Amino acid sequence: MIKKVINNTIALHLVFWILSYGILLNILSIDESFFTIDYIFTGMFVFSLAVPVYVNRFLLIPLLLYKSKYFVYSTAFIALIFLGALFNELLFNNIVDFIFPNYYIISSYEYEELLLVFLVFLVSTTLLKLSKERLNQLEMKSQLARLKEEKMRIELKSLKDHINPHFLFNNLNTVYSLIEKDSKKAEEAIIQLSDILRFMIYQVKQDHVKITEEVKLIENYLNLQRNRIDGDVKIIFDYDIQVDTFIAPLLMMPLVENCFKHGITTQNKNPRIEIRLFSDERKIHFSALNSLNKSKPNDKRTGGSGLKNIKERLEYIYPQKHDFVYTLNENTFHAKIIIDNEL
């Protein structure tokens, strides 16, 4: 409710002037009870205050103060105090009788007293205005941060969604190929795939997962892949988890997938895949190396969407806290991710 009033300028001004009217009515009234003449007197007094307050609010502040013309603003502000007090005198000496001819109203205040009242009102309303501006700026800043966060979340979700179909498609193909070859292995593969899918459905929704969960996922995936590979492919998964730290889900998986996608063929001599993972209090090191598929001389994976997705995710999730490099030579492709540990 209070926030709504603060955000509604007209309501805020109404509250301010009603409060001011109430306080001034108590101060200016001669008797303990209030009569019509007291309401009129206070109303006229408040009106005489409102005019310079709004001149300051709508002219001086935007045209001078906001444009950093501090000296001119100060001079105009002081002049406004004097003019405001003069306006009050003009109102009570010359105008009030035309508006309320049945009443005899005189101003009970000397010019010096009026100057003080106008000074207090103009200073306090200026401070209120500036405070509200500051509040709006902070609100806008936090809204921008929220929007940015939301944008990132949407982009990440889209990246994850982009990953999922690839993942599923490749592994279903693997299971499919196993069903005919070895039903026992196919059964195990389905269990492994179901573990992988469970991870992808539940864990992937979290911002971070434990690195041991990610290790389990890679192991499942590698076992699944081992079942479908024909020939003698050397697959090494070497990990040393000294601290079970947290990591964004599925960050390393595309690189593991890529090893199989691009590096396994019977045409290669001594094909190999080496995946290494190390984590301690300070850093997470991940590397994926695979021998190249020489049957695909035009392999363009250095500019592929998989690597681009990894890069984008790293930039969003670990800005200034990561290193992602990959090298492609004649025989191997080697990608490395180093992340500053978030513990």
Partner 1 sequence: MKTIFQLLFLVCATVLMSSCIASLNPIYDEDELIHDPGLNGKWYDKDENKSINTKNTSFKVKTIERKKNMSHKMKKLYLWTFYDKDTASFTVHMVKIGAHEYLDFFPESFDFENDLAEICFFPVHAFCRIKRNGDNLKIHAFDFEYIKSLIENRELRMEYKMQDGHLLLMAPTEDLQKFIKKYENDPCLFENEPQIYIRKK
Q: Which residues bind partner 1 (CB under 8 A)?
A: 30, 35-38, 41, 93, 102-108, 110
Closer residue to partner 1 (CB): 108 or 212: 108
Least distance (Å) from partner 1 to the CB of residue 21?
Answer: 17
Least distance (Å) from partner 1 to the CB of residue 17?
Answer: 21
d(CA 14, CA 334): 68
* Helical pair 253-263 and 111-181, crossing angle rounded to 10 deg: 40
Side-chain half-sphere of 125: how many Cα atoms within 13 Å? 27
Bridge partners (DSSP) listed for residue 274: 236, 289
Taking Cα atoms as reference points, which of 269, 257, 17 lies closest to residue 121?
Answer: 17
The helix or strand, by DSSP H or E, that contains position 278, with its residue range, turns out to be strand 272-279
For residues 170 and 330, is the Cβ–Cβ distance under 8 A?
no
Least distance (Å) from partner 1 to the CB of residue 73?
Answer: 34
Least distance (Å) from partner 1 to the CB of residue 81?
Answer: 21
Closer residue to partner 1 (CB): 35 or 169: 35
Closer residue to partner 1 (CB): 71 or 104: 104
Compute, in degrees rounded to 10, the torsion defined by CA atoms 185, 186, 191, 197: 130
d(CA 233, CA 226): 9
Least distance (Å) from partner 1 to the CB of residue 45?
Answer: 11
d(CA 188, CA 194): 10
Least distance (Å) from partner 1 to the CB of residue 96?
Answer: 10
Count other Cβ atoms within 10 Å, centred on residue 339.
Answer: 21
* Helical pair 211-228 and 253-263, crossing angle rounded to 10 deg: 20
Amino acid occupying residue 216: K
Tokens (6 digits) for 337: 């991710």
Least distance (Å) from partner 1 to the CB of residue 92?
Answer: 9
Closer residue to partner 1 (CB): 40 or 55: 40
Closer residue to partner 1 (CB): 40 or 156: 40
Closer residue to partner 1 (CB): 102 or 270: 102
Least distance (Å) from partner 1 to the CB of residue 31?
Answer: 8
d(CA 53, CA 215): 67
How far from the centroid of its chain's Cα atoms is residue 45's Cα?
Answer: 47
Closer residue to partner 1 (CB): 96 or 335: 96
For residues 53 and 125, is the Cβ–Cβ distance under 8 A?
yes
Closer residue to partner 1 (CB): 108 or 194: 108
